[in-house]
Amino acid sequence: MTKAERSKRPRRRRGAAQDTGADPAARRPDYTRLRNPFPPMPAFSDDRIAAMHEAALRVLEEQGVRILLPEARALFRTAGARVDDDSQMVFIGREIVAEALATAPASIPLRAGARHRDLVMEPGAMIFQPGAGAPHATDLERGRRPATAADFRELVQLTQAFDVLHILPPLVEPQDVPVHLRHYFTMEAQLTLSDKLPFVFSRGRGQVLDSFEMLAGFRGLSDEAFRAESHCFTIINTNSPRQIDVPMAQGLIDFARAGQVAIVTPFTLMGAMAPITVAGAVTLSHAEALAAIALSQLANPGAPVAYGTFTSNVDMKSGAPAFGTPEHFKASLAAGQMARLIGLPWRCASGSAANVNDAQAAHETQFALWGCLLAGATVSLHVAGWLEGGLTVSYEKLITDLEPLQMVAELCAATPADEAEIALDALAEIGPGGHFFGASHTMERYRTAFYQPLVADWSNFGTWQERGAQGASERATTIWKRVLEEDARPTIDPDRAEGLAAFIARRSEEGGAQPLN
Amino acid sequence: MTKAERSKRPRRRRGAAQDTGADPAARRPDYTRLRNPFPPMPAFSDDRIAAMHEAALRVLEEQGVRILLPEARALFRTAGARVDDDSQMVFIGREIVAEALATAPASIPLRAGARHRDLVMEPGAMIFQPGAGAPHATDLERGRRPATAADFRELVQLTQAFDVLHILPPLVEPQDVPVHLRHYFTMEAQLTLSDKLPFVFSRGRGQVLDSFEMLAGFRGLSDEAFRAESHCFTIINTNSPRQIDVPMAQGLIDFARAGQVAIVTPFTLMGAMAPITVAGAVTLSHAEALAAIALSQLANPGAPVAYGTFTSNVDMKSGAPAFGTPEHFKASLAAGQMARLIGLPWRCASGSAANVNDAQAAHETQFALWGCLLAGATVSLHVAGWLEGGLTVSYEKLITDLEPLQMVAELCAATPADEAEIALDALAEIGPGGHFFGASHTMERYRTAFYQPLVADWSNFGTWQERGAQGASERATTIWKRVLEEDARPTIDPDRAEGLAAFIARRSEEGGAQPLN
């Protein structure tokens, strides 16, 4: 390749999610809507999966679930479940579960802030979410700290900038915002800094209804239009083993009645809140998920609800949660089989228990990611940025975790192998001892042939040393800072923004909405 | 768990491959013989794979391969190929290829230095090899340096210590050993420090025959017994595009006639020595591999030979090789399909172009590993320790790369899901709000339930900081140093060792054997 040719090469700006069209010949991969290209891998035989499903039904019927919210228990009672209000135990018959699985939709449209951000949550889709839910944030410049509102906004902006991150999570907990106002802050940040599907915590009816109102107002939707599709999502964690707390049950009911998708996610660590075996933990998780799905359908048959689990193991010496382990992987595979058995879209998660963005963090996160991918997860959470088992989100790790995600996304499009690709003519053109750098076949394709890495540095050792011997995390610092500087927030309708701000001001003055625990 | 219970817990020594039986209840995973548990993933449809195979046959017939060794050309001529001794071009008819594929064995026994190290190289097997072939070594204590004999010996010891590393490679090039004596040194190190299958470079008949003699002598084998099975292996790289150099052709012939397995490996980087498309590069690699396999069978029909490729892309801006990219992954998948088409065991490789053992190095290496796994590679090379696209082997990276390998190995054994695993009784025993730490089901299993990490640190941030805030690489330094200290070399027959030393002394005095280039 001549120097002139090299200088003409389009440079893909690192960190910029979307080229502004500077070079029409530049490579423009589309990571916005992905379909899982991987063959599903089973953990267990079909008859074992059936046995686990049957065992879960027996757990619900014979052992029951403690449901703390009276309104929820009433729904189950009306449906024919045996309910004991003193012990708060609900014994759910399999016919209730079967009915719920029959009404829960297999395909859930997700309506975001722009059409190219819309998604469909259905078996076969592949949706990635970074973060999330961490009380701390960390980066190489400012160190580890209790997460702040500023961190939340920055992490939303970083999530917005990369197409392979499809939906917004509660990346970190902005601890400097009073709890009764926090949902206003987070919704405003999500809606004004991003056009991706926003998240709403199920922390009580007050916060949830506030959030729906903010969202419907900002999107300019009537009540009916709002309920017709999911414009946001929530995560419903059961309290393993076998308990659904008040705000979670409330969230299931409120989201179902508003037609907004709830992603059911028992958090079942083997040996701690769940049996120490993969089969036992997944059976327990499955039972709890079925109970939660049933509640959503009893509140509103046909309401969008996704199956899910967050099952991994603990270190039996210390009790510390572990992620990216073989047990985590196996549990993901088994959950995928359960999800395919019941026919619902489902959520899984990556993760790492590392304390710093090193080889352990990378290996654990990617290993867990492959568990999600081979399990056929519809939505994979915590795929970028997560450290310390979820206690901290790292800016640098969010960036370095993007590389395997983008590379996975590259595998989604079919690779051609037609005659032109097989290139018999090119093979004939270049003889023994030759090279393909100058072949016409190469020249026609080199601009767009290969994935351009975000973080990876492929320069030789000498060059790398001269440039400062930066590791991946250090380069990631440069990247996230540039992305924040570029500030690629979407264009926001100023009237809508004003309306939102006014709503928030009024509600704040009224005292906000305390979270329920 | 009580303090007394915790103190009774068996501690698995980090870095020790095998417990010496200190605790009969300790978890003892068997990583010595693995079968690939992953569902194979195609890159192309079957008809495209067939088209690529047909194209490869046409390359051999119409474009030919330049074969520099007259003895090899003669074998092809005798078989009916059209040979031009002036241009050294050989045009290989498809009937020669078909005959070779019919005689090449699908199952290749590998006889190592101890029975539990024996392997069978056949479709479905999963063999891992670290390194290899790097001119430099690096570690956090001594820094990056031209690799030495001492490095070679240490890296052999490290490879020996971990069951998930199955065969010995030429980990690094011991540059302080004269080239005409180097094969004596490396064979002696492999045979005395390890009982795993040793490697022999194909650097000319002199070195190869010396190596066979050393090996047969050390193993106490007659000529006939030696030839009956593979006691070593070699890698045969074609010189892409479409050339087989003298030592490589010599190696194919000599290994075939000695009944020792040759792993054929075109090194075809897209855009450089191969077309810039996956289909084109894999087609070229396939053609060259078929030519090499044909030569081995012409030399000795039925000789053990493995298919293989090392196909990735380059950075088109700089020409630098890249590994762990989507293109590398796709090429691996396609090569797996070609291997299954022809029915031979085959080799693939991981790799990284990172300059330091950071998140890039980990992500690239693991991503490439998954390409090998989902491609159904029989033998996966460079899966631990490789940096800088193969210019350096890192001690720390060898250790940190073991974690995903061991975790993959953990996925090979079927996970039970019988009634005891599903644990309905345990689920009934622990009610809402309870925990499974103390459940009898947990107590019966906790010692052996979970994979024990080699490198990963799961302690919380505070504890981790107190202990020195060590990253994975720093912990890896401690591990490799301890492994070297423990020196778990196998017991060696002193007579055999003496015989080997005597052979080496004599041959060295006779002038050794110069390598051919």
What is B328-356 written as a DSSP string?
Answer: HHHHHHHHHHHHHHHT--EEEE-----SS
Residues 6 or more apart in contact with residue B476 via CB below 8 angstroms: A359, B357, B395, B396, B397, B399, B400, B455
Q: How confident is the model at residue A517 (pLDDT cuts 50, 70, 90)?
A: confident
Task: Report the alpha-carbon distance of residue A70 to residue A76 in Å, rounded.
Answer: 10
Check residue A433 and give its pLDDT.
86
Q: Is A139 helix (H, G, I), strand (E, B) or coil?
A: coil
- A395 reaches B (C-beta below 8 A): no
Residues of chain A found within 8 Å of residue B461, distances taken between Cβ atoms: 144, 355, 388, 391-392
Residues in A 399-418 with any Cβ partner in B closer than 8 A: 400, 403-404, 407, 410-411, 415-418
Check residue A10 and give its pLDDT.
37
Residues in B 39-98 with any Cβ partner in A closer than 8 A: 39-41, 43-45, 48-49, 51-52, 55, 58-59, 62-63, 65-66, 89
ipTM over 0.90: yes
Check residue B21 and give its pLDDT.
46
- B464 reaches A (C-beta below 8 A): yes
Say if residues B423 and A283 touch (Cβ distance below 8 Å).
yes
Check residue B517 and give its pLDDT.
75
In the predicted structure, residue A11 carries a pLDDT above the cut 70:
no
Say if residues A194 and A157 touch (Cβ distance below 8 Å).
yes
Share the mean pLDDT of chain A.
95
Nearest Cα of chain B lies from the Cα of A226 at a distance, in angstroms, of 36
Check residue A22 and give its pLDDT.
55
Can you list the domains of chain A with their CATH numbers? 101-140+147-408 (3.20.20.480)
Mean pLDDT of A25-30: 88
- A307 reaches B (C-beta below 8 A): no
Residues of chain B found within 8 Å of residue A391, distances taken between Cβ atoms: 460-461
Question: Which of B239, B274, B320 has its CB closest to that of A459?
Answer: B320
Task: Report the alpha-carbon distance of residue B141 to residue B503 in Å, rounded.
Answer: 36
Calculate the alpha carbon distances from B15 to A120, B9, B22 in Å.
Answer: 47, 18, 15
Q: How confident is the model at residue A25 (pLDDT cuts 50, 70, 90)?
A: confident
Q: What is the pLDDT of residues B71-116, one digit of tens each?
A: 999 999 999 999 999 999 999 999 999 999 999 999 999 999 999 9
Q: What is the pLDDT of residues A120-133, one digit of tens each?
A: 999 999 999 998 99
Question: Which of B327, B404, B424 has its CB closest to that of A451?
Answer: B327
Task: Report the alpha-carbon distance of residue A479 to residue A12 in Å, rounded.
Answer: 13
Instruction: Provide the token pair at B1.
Output: 């768990």
Say if residues B25 and B447 touch (Cβ distance below 8 Å).
yes
Question: Which of B279, B432, B449 has its CB closest to that of A241?
Answer: B432
In the predicted structure, residue A260 carries a pLDDT above the cut 60:
yes
Check residue A114 and give its pLDDT.
98
Check residue B25 and give its pLDDT.
75
List, edge to edge, every strand of the sheet that includes A305-308: A34-35, A125-128, A379-381, A346-349, A305-308, A261-264, A233-236
CA nearest neighbour of B37 among A326, A108, A246, A206 = A326
Q: What is the pLDDT of residues B268-327, one digit of tens each?
A: 999 999 999 999 999 999 999 999 999 999 999 999 999 999 999 999 889 999 999 999
Q: What is the pLDDT of residues B194-246, one digit of tens each?
A: 999 999 999 999 999 999 999 999 999 999 999 999 999 999 999 999 999 99
Task: Report the alpha-carbon distance of residue A223 to residue A216 in Å, rounded.
Answer: 7
Mean pLDDT of B139-146: 98
